[in-house]
Amino acid sequence: MQLGTRWTSGDEPPAAVPAAIRPQIAAVDRALPDDDLGQPRPRWTLTFLEGRPVAELDTGVIVELGADGSVSVRHDEDDDFA
């Protein structure tokens, strides 16, 4: 069993975050707009789905490692609030 972890966007990811998804996490962090109002940065949550890492940002952006080893980035389109 692998345990997940949380960290703030823009900070160095914890050692538990696999190297394969780190570049895409960093790219998402760089793409986030600066907050001039002093709001806290969103946080990442690392979990493992069927043994594969899934990093989800509080904003709904998901970076995951596929079964074939490819890394994908998507936005969770949650319709519960629509």
32's tokens: 């986030």
Q: How far apart are CA 4 and CA 45, in angstroms?
A: 7
Confidence of residue 4 (pLDDT cuts 50, 70, 90): confident
Rounded to two decimals, what is the model's pTM?
Answer: 0.85
Tell whether the torsion through CA atoms of 57, 71, 25 and 6 is positive or negative: positive
Whether 57 and 43 have beta carbons less than 8 Å apart is answered as yes
Q: Percentage of the chain surpassing pLDDT 90? A: 72
Quick: pLDDT tens for 39-75: 789 999 999 999 999 999 999 999 999 999 999 999 9
Q: Report phi then psi at 63, rounded to 5.
A: -115, 125
Q: Where are the domains of the chain?
A: 5-31+41-81
Whether 67 and 82 have beta carbons less than 8 Å apart is answered as no
